[in-house]
Structure 1
Amino acid sequence: MIDQKNELTPNERAWLRFLRDISNDRDPMPTLRRVQLLRRVCAPRRT
């Protein structure tokens, strides 16, 4: 029996695909710098 709490939503799958696309299908470790850069890229722009 599959635990539905652990299943990925379509949006989570899309985010994983996005991360794979921007990392050229590599599996880089999430460093502080990478997390900060990704947050900056994904943050809404202030006008």
Structure 2
Amino acid sequence: MEDLTENERAWVEFLRTISLGRDPGPTLWRVQLLRRVCETRRA
């Protein structure tokens, strides 16, 4: 992980935290769910 930026490392840690230490693969459903969660609300 040395080639990652500090922000990228923080995202990896965030994903590890929310996945409870598991390593689930990026399915379409998971990617869509994460995008919805991370989207900013538009007025």
Distance 1:19 1:37 in 2: 13
Aligned length: 42
Higher relative contact order (CA 8 A, sep 6+): 2
1:31 aligned residue: 27
Q: Which runs of 5+ in 2 are unaligned?
A: none
Report percent identity of matched pairs. Answer: 69
TM-score, length basis structure 2? 0.91
How far apart, in 2, do the equivalents of 1:7 and 1:46 lie?
Answer: 34
Deviation at 1:46, TM superposition (A): 1.4
Q: Deviations over 1:3-46 (max 9, x none)?
A: xxx70000000000000000001000100000000000000011
